Amino acid sequence: MMATTTGARLLCGGGSQLRFVVAAAAAGTGRSSLTALAKRPALRSAVLVARAGLATTPRVLSSATATAAEEGQKPPFVVPEDVPAIQFVQQQTEPVFDFESATQVLRALSVNPETIEAHFKVSMRGDKTKKKGRPRDPIRGVLVMPNLFRPLRRVVVFADGEDAQLAREAGAYRVGGPEMLADFERGRIEYDIIMATTSMAREIKREGGRVLRANMPTEKKGTVVDDIAEAVPRVARGVSFRSDAHGAINIPVAKTTMTVEQIEANVVAAMQGLMTYSLGERTKFIEQLYLSAQQTPGMRVTHDPLVAQALE
């Protein structure tokens, strides 16, 4: 197996074609099927090495090869029929850790206080409005952790009247109307996130889109709300997230200086928030969970016990 892998990498410039051929061989692909794969130019070398099990240049033996060489033509590809098929001697599996062990390893490997990130793989199936086989639209939102691990975000709110007073009482960094756009354009306002009430969002839509651009409050991002008193503290404490088309979500959840119990509580809270976006059975929505710090490797974690806690 070692010789086969080495030869395939030398001939194919990497392991992608070899993995394709090895997967076919592992599934019980016969000699005739490998010969069919050999007709694909990108897989010829990999198929020949898989058939021959050699680390050296493969032997192409046929009378047609000699004839083509005499005529100055490119020799055809011929797979020798007397070579053995590939044999597998070892299979590597990814280690899976329980949550406490993974957390303790991350804390031990961290020299300085580092942010711990939870990497979730969630199901993107179940949207009946999509064609069969198509994933759902990326999900996005804000998750609130019970144990604060970073400073509160500075929330600037576009509101007027009673909503403006409620936003100030809720802890907004700055509250105002369309007149704040001039300060934004001159760079006089420091902020982390911008929110607006529904009525004010319509009022600043044209000028705000030009000045704020990607930071413009929208309903899709959850930054245009009616209940501003509830939304401001949630956004100030919360962590924004967005999935990709394959369901991968990366969320900072804690610091390595926190206890295992605090980290676990934050991860469970994040899972509870993610499960609200499930379109099917909630127990199967989260498929995988990895934990990592800023300068540590990722560690796969058994997530079933955490799912059970999140469902309680």
Measured torsion, CA atoms of residues 56, 58, 63, 67, in degrees rounded to the nearest 10: -90
278-288, pLDDT tens digit by residue?
Answer: 988 899 999 99
With helix as H, strand as E and coil as C, how does 189-254 read? CCCCEEEEEHHHHHHCHHHHHHHHHHHCCCCCCCCEECCHHHHHHHHHHCEEEECCCCCEEEEEEE
Q: Report the alpha-carbon distance of residue 36 to residue 34 in Å, rounded.
A: 5
| Structural element, H or E, at residue 142 | strand 140-143
Averaged pLDDT, 120-133: 85
User: Average pLDDT in the 160-179 region?
Assistant: 95
Arithmetic mean of pLDDT over the chain: 80
All residues at 6 or more sequence positions from 76 whose CB lies less than 8 Å from its CB, including other chains: 62, 64, 65, 68
For 139, the token pair is 């999900």
Residue 131 DSSP one-character state = P
For residue 217, what are the CA distances in angstroms to 105, 120, 213, 214, 224? Answer: 40, 27, 9, 8, 6
Per residue in 232-288, pLDDT (tens digit) is 999 999 999 999 989 999 999 999 999 999 999 999 999 999 999 998 889 999 999
| DSSP at 279 | S
What is the Cα–Cα distance from 190 to 237, expressed in whole angstroms? 17
Record the pTM: 0.68
Give dist(CA 17, CA 45) in Å, integer.
9
pLDDT digit string, tens, across residues 31-73: 445 555 555 555 555 555 555 443 333 344 345 555 655 666 6
In what side-by-side order are the strands of the sheet with 155-158? 174-176, 155-158, 193-197, 224-225
Burial class (CB in 10 A: 0-12, 13-18, 19+), 163: buried
pLDDT tens for residues 184-194? 999 999 999 99
The residues, any chain, with a CB within 8 Å of residue 232's CB and separated by 6 or more, are 155, 157, 167, 170, 171, 172, 195
d(CA 192, CA 161): 23
Instruction: Express as a percent the part of the chain with pLDDT over 90.
Output: 59
What whole-number distance in Å separates Cα of residue 157 and Cα of residue 177?
A: 8
Top pLDDT among 132 and 173 is at 173
Report DSSP state, residue 153.
P
Q: What domains does the chain contain, in order, with CATH numbers?
A: 2-70 (no CATH), 96-150+238-311 (3.30.190.20), 155-236 (3.40.50.790)
